């Protein structure tokens, strides 16, 4: 199943097919921020980024944008937040199975409610795709791709409508919060460190100039941008405990005996701030990656925001394209100021813990447009 997703949904070819969609959607965000810039409006940046990511994810997975009310009266962001929260809370039933049936924390009940909402929504979307099957779309969304595999019978394992729904939900949840939360953290760190912001803007000016907007094809030429993103992911890995793993064999790690079938939780948040590994670990200093070959692909265990190995994130490439493109646009097109004369150093960086760890407070800021056109 994982191989199928990697090859059919998250390959470079598939990522590139959605490039013009991302360009259009990010363009819409920039236009709306430009409007805010004209009147000096304070913008809820967290909300703007999250909404953009809901749209990008819906278009890629389901083929069209959905309004909040299409999911449930609570809406997408609230339901995704609820899912991440329920999934992250330690469940007593996992540790004392005889307590599981009692559901003392009410987690099973909450999970069932969330599952029903998503299931109804996915059933509706699949039915729509079946009805409109004859439409000849230029780019197949994830539902089309999964349904085609199901109908062809080519999968070498059981693959029916239940599996299609499971993959769609996985892709939707995994892709939604992670990229937008990372962009929020990167932008927060940049606003908090104006000298880093200036240096990144200078790179963007040198490579792109001020007469046109950034394109995805520019991203490989933006070295400092990559360093900034690595540094933000070191301090703010959005999945601070990765996803729980299980040891397949008895093993010894760093002198600790880990019996087969133990639940293993890797605290990458702590690794990212470990003073034994990083100089001045608490400081935001993208320059630490200058000339270093540490990358984000899971080879360097001191920096594994996407996990590592066979269960590492298969959406890494897609996630990085979205983050790099969006951060580059936001920083290239605008200067950012905090509201009510707040100093950058006073920006609150508290975290709100969940499977995905977000900012505790929304990021509010005033954009000023800085391109020539
Ligand atoms: C900033 C963006 C992202 C970050 C930081 C991130 C991070 C992670 C992490 C830490 C894991 C767990 C790895 C482990 O436990 O070893 C994971 C798993 C996963 N990610 Fe991502 N991810 C991002 C974006 C995406 C996107 C865009 C998608 C797809 C649309 C995606 C799909 C998945 C899936 C399906 C898994 C489960 C893989 C498995 O269990 O085998 N991720 N991700």
Instruction: Indicate whether 249 pLDDT > 90.
Output: yes
Q: Give the position, in ligand 1's atom list, of the atom nearest the Cα of 60.
A: 30
Alpha-carbon span 361 to 191, nearest angstrom: 15
Q: Does 112 score more than 80 pLDDT?
A: yes
337 lines ligand 1 (CB under 6 A): no
Probe target for ligand 1 pocket from 171, 306, 322, with the most ligand atoms within 8 Å of CB: 306
C-alpha neighbours within 13 Å on the C-beta side of residue 125: 27
CA-proximal residue: ligand 1, atom 18 (nearest): 313
pLDDT > 90? residue 175:
no
- pLDDT attached to residue 78: 82
Q: What is the pLDDT of residues 269-297, one digit of tens each?
A: 999 999 999 999 999 999 999 999 999 99
Bigger pLDDT: 35 vs 99: 35
Q: Which pLDDT score, from 0 to 100, does residue 71 have?
A: 81
Chain mean pLDDT for the chain:
94
What digits encode the pLDDT tens for the residues 187-209? 999 999 999 999 999 999 999 99
State mean pLDDT over 93-98.
Answer: 86
| Site of tokens 């004369």 | 341
Indicate whether 139 pLDDT > 90: no
- Residue 153: what are its φ and ψ, rounded to 5°? 70, 15
pLDDT (0 to 100) of residue 373: 81
Please state which of the ranges 17-21, 110-114, 223-227, 320-324 shows the lowest mean pLDDT: 110-114
Residue list for the binding site for heme: 313
- C-alpha 194 to ligand 1 mean position (Å): 30
Lowest mean pLDDT among 4-18, 71-85, 330-344: 71-85
Residue keyed to tokens 């992670």:
178
Examine the pLDDT at 41 and tell me if it is beyond 90: yes
User: Please, which residues have CB within 8 angstroms of residue 168's CB and are 6 or more apart in sequence?
Assistant: 61, 62, 122, 125, 142, 143, 146
Q: How far is the CA of 316 from the centre of ligand 1 (A)?
A: 7
Distance 366 CA to ligand 1 centre (A): 32
**Above pLDDT 70, what percent of the chain?**
100
What contacts 346, CB < 8 A, 6 or more positions away? 338
In angstroms, rounded to a whole number, what is the distance separating the alpha carbons of residues 325 and 98? 49
| β-bridge pairing 358-359 and 256-258 | unpaired
Alpha carbon of 303 to ligand 1 centroid (Å) = 15
Q: Does 307 contact ligand 1 (Cβ within 6 A)?
A: yes
- pLDDT at residue number 356: 84
Residues 38-66, mean pLDDT to the nearest whole number = 95
If you average pLDDT over residues 301-318, what whole number do you get? 96
For ligand 1, atom 43, the nearest C-alpha belongs to 313
Q: Is 194 in the pocket of ligand 1 (CB under 6 A)?
A: no
Residue 53 Cβ < 6 Å to ligand 1: no
pLDDT at 76: 78
Per-residue model confidence (pLDDT) at position 225: 98
Query: For position 123, what pLDDT does the model report?
Result: 95
Is the minimum distance from the CB of 61 to ligand 1 under 6 angstroms? no
- 259-268 pLDDT, tens digit per residue, is 999 989 999 9
pLDDT, one tens digit per residue, over 202-246 is 999 999 999 999 999 999 999 999 999 999 999 999 999 999 899
Phi first, then psi: give them for residue 304, nearest 5 degrees: -130, 60
Question: With contact defined as beta carbons under 8 Å apart, do 225 and 330 qualify?
Answer: no
Check pLDDT > 80 for residue 77: no
Q: Which numbered atom of ligand 1 lies nearest the CA of 243?
A: 15
Report pLDDT for 36.
Answer: 98
Arithmetic mean of pLDDT, 310-336: 97
Ligand 1 atom with the smallest distance to the CA of 170 is 35
Is 225 in contact with 327 (CB distance < 8 Å)?
Answer: yes
Q: Is the CB of 182 under 6 A from ligand 1?
A: yes
Considering only CA atoms, which of 86, 89, 74, 53 is closest in space to residue 121?
A: 74
Q: Give the pLDDT confidence score for residue 273 in this predicted structure.
A: 98
Residue 354 has pLDDT above 80, yes or no: no
Stronger pLDDT, 68 or 180, i.e. the higher one: 180
Kindly tell me the sign of the dihedral angle through the C-alpha atoms of 207, 210, 211, 217. positive
pLDDT of residue 72: 78
Look up the ipTM and state it.
0.97
């Amino acid at each position: 199943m994982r191989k199928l997703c990697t090859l059919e949904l998250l390959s470079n070819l598939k990522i590139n097919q959605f490039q013009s969609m991302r360009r259009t959607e990010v363009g819409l965000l920039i236009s709306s921020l430009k409007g805010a810039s004209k009147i000096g409006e304070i913008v809820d940046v967290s909300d703007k980024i999250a909404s953009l990511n809901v749209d990008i994810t819906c278009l890629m997975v389901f083929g069209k944008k959905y309004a909040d009310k299409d999911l449930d009266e609570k809406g997408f962001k609230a339901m995704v937040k609820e899912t991440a929260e329920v999934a992250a809370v330690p469940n007593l039933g996992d540790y004392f199975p005889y307590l599981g049936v009692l559901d003392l924390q009410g987690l099973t009940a909450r999970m069932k409610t969330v599952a029903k909402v998503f299931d109804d929504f996915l059933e509706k979307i699949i039915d729509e795709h079946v009805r409109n099957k004859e439409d000849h779309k230029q780019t197949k969304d994830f539902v089309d791709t999964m349904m085609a595999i199901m109908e062809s019978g080519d999968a070498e394992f059981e693959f029916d409508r239940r599996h299609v729904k499971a993959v769609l939900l996985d892709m939707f949840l995994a892709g939604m919060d992670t990229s937008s939360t990372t962009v929020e953290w990167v932008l927060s760190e940049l606003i908090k460190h104006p000298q880093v912001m200036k240096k990144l803007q200078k790179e963007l000016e040198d490579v792109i100039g001020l007469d046109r907007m950034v394109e995805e094809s520019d991203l490989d030429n933006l070295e400092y941008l990559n360093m900034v993103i690595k540094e933000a992911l070191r301090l703010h890995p959005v999945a601070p405990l990765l996803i729980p793993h299980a040891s397949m064999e008895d093993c010894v790690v760093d002198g600790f005996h880990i019996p087969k079938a133990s639940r293993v939780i890797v605290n990458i948040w702590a690794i990212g701030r470990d003073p034994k590994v990083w100089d001045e670990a608490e400081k935001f200093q993208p320059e630490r990656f200058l000339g270093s070959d540490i990358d984000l692909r899971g080879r360097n265990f001191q920096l594994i925001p996407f996990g590592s190995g066979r269960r590492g994130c298969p959406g890494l490439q897609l996630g990085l394209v979205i983050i790099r493109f969006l951060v580059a646009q936001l920083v290239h097109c605008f200067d950012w100021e905090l509201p009510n004369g707040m100093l950058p150093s006073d920006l609150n960086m508290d975290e709100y813990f969940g499977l995905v760890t977000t900012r505790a407070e929304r990021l509010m800021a005033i954009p000023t447009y800085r391109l020539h056109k």
